[in-house]
Amino acid sequence: MKSPLLSLPGAVPAEGVDEGVAAHYGELFREQRALADGTGFVDLSHRGVVTVTGSDRLSWLHLLLTQHLSELPAGQATEALILSANGHIEHHLSLVDDGETVWAHVEPGTQDALIAYLESMKFFYRVEVADRTDDIAVVHLPAGSIAPVPDGVVVRETAHGRDLFLPRTDLETYAEGNGPAAGLLAYEALRVETHRPRLGFETDHRTIPHELGWIGSAVHLQKGCYRGQETVARVQNLGKPPRRLVFLHLDGSEVHLPAAGTPLHLASEGVEGRKLGFVTTAVRHHELGPIALGLVKRNVPVDAGLVAGDTAAAQEVVVEP
């Protein structure tokens, strides 16, 4: 779905899964600094929006998701995963309950598969699942923002900012009064800086929650059964995940950022050495320069210098080995 805010001056469309919103509006670092200062907003209207209503909504979702939801207070933001039977991550939901409805936004294009799974698990529970993507747009306000929230708009507030579930018809009007707009590249740079994984970027078909540090924030360890719980419990109690998320400081002299999937090797062995992992997201940050997230094998020494293709990369620990 193409955002009407692509008509704003300087807007350059994002590509790939983020197609439909602006990558930037012509001044990438200015947009980043604005968000870091708590001003402006980010158009996330390409994300899927799913709601669950009905008196059983929280107890039902509690059974299906990795998060403890049965007693979730109204207005408290949280996040949750849906895992496969083998414990691999299939869906990530950023959600909040407003007292009558659970609102969740999800990665672009994943809402259909998510809804199909939820519908298949309704059984006798008093719940209704709806795709609200066509009529609700997600808008992100950065931490510290004092921008007003229109009456009746559901808000999901976290340490990183507020997500508004805004009627799509109000998107242009809201943008006119609450700029400047910041593009998705600015939002992604701050996401990488704060080590926040993203489904489909830091995950592949075999990713488990422990590898990304989602234990606690998206996975509750003291709740009842859910699909994939056996893997979570086994890794938590008996072992370690095979890979771990790392934060990378990249060589700033390189013109190009390493693409997602670029192999990571020990700097001492170079590109001919063993592949130890890969880059997941690389960005240019207004203060830190080129930075990235990556997945490496758990036993890679935490002080080892790495190379991402031909680019030197110094690692910081995100998930302990």
The amino acid sitting at 223 is K
Instruction: Return left, alpha or beta for 289; rule: phi > 0 is left, psi -120 to 50 is alpha, else beta.
Output: left
The amino acid sitting at 236 is Q
User: Rg of the chain's alpha carbons, rounded to an integer?
Assistant: 20
Please tell me the predicted confidence (pLDDT) of residue 37.
97
Q: Encode pLDDT of 39-66 as tens digits.
A: 999 999 999 999 999 999 999 999 999 9
Q: What percent of the chain has pLDDT over 70?
A: 100
Helix, strand, or coil (residue 42): strand
Q: Is the pLDDT of residue 250 over 90?
A: yes
Maximum alpha-carbon separation in the chain = 60
| CATH classification number, 241-320, choose in 3.40.640.10, 3.40.630.10, 1.20.870.10, 2.40.30.110 | 2.40.30.110
Q: Is the pLDDT of residue 283 over 90?
A: yes
How would DSSP label each residue in 84-153?
Answer: -TTS-EEEEEEEEE-SSEEEEEESTT-HHHHHHHHHHT-TT---EEEE-TTTEEEEEEETT------TT-
Cis amide bond preceding 301, omega within 30: no
Q: How confident is the model at residue 270 (pLDDT cuts 50, 70, 90)?
A: confident
Q: How confident is the model at residue 219 (pLDDT cuts 50, 70, 90)?
A: very high
Q: Is pTM, for the whole model, over 0.85?
A: yes
Please tell me the predicted confidence (pLDDT) of residue 1.
82
Mention every residue, 6+ apart, whose C-beta is less than 8 A from residue 152. Answer: none
Q: Is the pLDDT of residue 130 over 90?
A: yes
Domain coordinates of the chain in residue numbers?
2-45+133-192, 241-320
Please tell me the predicted confidence (pLDDT) of residue 224.
83
Mention every residue, 6+ apart, whose C-beta is less than 8 A from residue 20. Answer: 1, 2, 3, 13, 14, 45, 46, 108
Helical H segments across 223-291, by residue range: 229-238
pLDDT mean over 130-155 = 97
Contact 130, 48 (CB under 8 A): no
Contact 108, 17 (CB under 8 A): yes
